[in-house]
Homo-oligomer: A and B are copies of this chain.
Amino acid sequence: MIEVFGDERSGNCLKVKWILEYVHRPYRWTQVEFLDGETRTPEFLAMNPAGQVPVVKLDDGRPLAQSNAIVLYFAEGTPLVPTEPYRRAQVLEWLFWEQYSHEPYVAVRRFQRLYLGKPDDEIEPRLMERGNAALARMEAHLRNRPWLVGDDFSAADLCLLPYTERAPEGGFSLAAYAAVRAWIRRTRTALGLDARTGSGPGGDPS
């Protein structure tokens, strides 16, 4: 059985949980406490020398890391990954943008508040500025489109959801981002999250 090493509070790890449930692949979840050094043990580093969660071990024991690479691995062959080359490239564009221009601000600010307990006035101001720039970009894009790529729900929506809906835990207000809030509800429905888990670990994003 597939084994996931992750932390359910981490949006990157939630992506893996969600794709596995979406494609109906059974898995075993092992909670990893990275603040306690559990990603720095020799056993963990043998799986992922980068020392980061999530990691999956496939049925045959081969490890795979990087949340977005894991999502693409399991989503390939489903409608979540378009076969048309340009649409596929657009999904990848959003995934790389997420890791470079969204997660390092929106998720990192949340991490500093939620995991490290930092008060707002001790957090680098650029995290708020750049996080809001990322959310504003999504808002402009989603104002006249239901999904991030083309006319259909895709891996781009799945991978952008966790940290976007958890942005308020990082001190970001979604009040000005009505299109983003509507997209969050659509994406949660597409993933079957509300049916399965109530409002989910991120709470009500509205």
Contacts and interface: CB of A to CB of B under 8 A. Distances in A.
A13 interface: no
Interface string A132-176: 000001001100000000000000000000000000000000000
Contacts of A85: 73, 76
A70 interface: yes
Interface in A32-90: 49-50, 52, 58, 62, 64-70, 72-73, 76, 85-86, 88-90
Q: What's the dominant secondary structure at chain A's contact region?
A: helix
A62 B86 contact: yes
A92 B104 contact: no
A68 B86 contact: no
A96 interface: yes
A150 to B, nearest CB: 12
A24 to B, nearest CB: 18
Interface size class of A (residues with CB under 8 A): 20 to 34
Given A96-B96, A96-B99, A99-B99, A70 B50 contact: no
A96 B66 contact: yes
B89 A50 contact: no
Given A62-B86, A64-B86, A86-B64, A69 B50 contact: no
Closest A-B pairs by Cβ, 8 of them: A69-B92, A66-B96, A73-B89, A69-B93, A66-B93, A99-B100, A68-B96, A69-B96
Interface of A: 49-50, 52, 58, 62, 64-70, 72-73, 76, 85-86, 88-90, 92-93, 95-97, 99-101, 103-104, 137, 140-141
10 contacts: A49-B141, A50-B101, A62-B86, A65-B93, A65-B97, A69-B92, A69-B96, A72-B92, A99-B99, A100-B103
